[in-house]
Amino acid sequence: MGINERKEREKEELHKSILTAAREVFLEKGFDQTSIRSIAQKIEYSPTTIYLYYKDKDAILYALHTEGFYLLGSKMEVLNSVENPFERIKAMGRVYIQFAMDHPDYYDLMFVQKSPMNKLDEDHDVWREGQTTFDGLKFSVAQCIEQGYLPFNDVEAGSYLLWATLHGMCNLYDRGRCKVLDEEKSEQIVDLAFAEFLKMLDAFGN
């Protein structure tokens, strides 16, 4: 009899629908407004039911953070066809910025919020999602160094520098720190600064 199988399916479905509801609330109302109670209301269950499927709120946020990395990964994937590693690096930068602009909430969860990182210390100690993405960057940076496009001594330090540069631009923008600029300029500052950045890199690449 497949009763147990059906029950297992139903459990999985509720598990999924909790995450779906969480995603909807998160994308509609933002990080701050994503509460256990608001998720529960969306699926028409009591708040405590959620704790039967997720250990705590951080576990849900971690799952959403993972979704974000899959989304970013899918955008990065198409760049595998770029043969020249230096062109690939530059394109990765553009994709990264575009992602941060298109999905600021996902971006925040992936690279700024401390909540998802709490889960790491508890169970699996390694940040798989971030690791995979960073490895992709390192691979291209190593190629760039080999082929004389970038002047770094240390692959990891150089990769971190590139990552941090883009992250800094996106994060300062997202957190309203562009108010130090004219209103018109602050709107496009990330693109402008990225252009200056590319110019710096090109001075090495050519």
The amino acid at residue 115 is S
Q: What is the C-alpha to C-alpha distance for residues 152 and 144, in angstroms, rounded to an integer?
A: 9
Q: What is the C-alpha to C-alpha distance for residues 40 and 72, in angstroms, rounded to an integer?
A: 28
Q: Nearest approach, Cβ of 151 to DNA (angstroms)? A: 46
93 to 122, contacts with a copy of itself by CB under 8 A? 111-114, 117, 120
Residue 139, binding choice from a copy of itself, DNA, none, Cβ under 5 to 8 Å by partner class = none
The yes or no reply on residue 1 touching DNA (CB under 7 A) is yes
Binding mask 177-196 for a copy of itself (x = CB under 8 A): xxxxx---x---x--xx-xx
Number of Cβ within 10 Å of residue 61's Cβ equals 23
Residue 94, binding choice from DNA, a copy of itself, none, Cβ under 5 to 8 Å by partner class = none
Q: Which residues of 169-196 are buried (b: 16+ CB within 10 A; e: fewer)?
A: bbbebbeeebeeeeeeebeebbeebbee
Q: What is the C-alpha to C-alpha distance for residues 27 and 37, in angstroms, rounded to an integer?
A: 16
Q: What is the C-alpha to C-alpha distance for residues 51 and 14, in angstroms, rounded to an integer?
A: 12
The yes or no reply on residue 152 touching a copy of itself (CB under 8 A) is yes
Residue 56, binding choice from DNA, a copy of itself, none, Cβ under 5 to 8 Å by partner class = DNA
The amino acid at residue 15 is H
**Tokens representing 8?**
């297992």
> What is the binding site for DNA (CB under 7 A)?
1, 3, 7, 10-11, 14, 33-38, 45-49, 51-52, 56-58
> What is the binding site for a copy of itself (CB under 8 A)?
111-114, 117, 120, 126-127, 130-131, 134, 151-154, 156-158, 160-161, 163-169, 171-172, 175-181, 185, 189, 192-193, 195-197, 199-200, 203-204
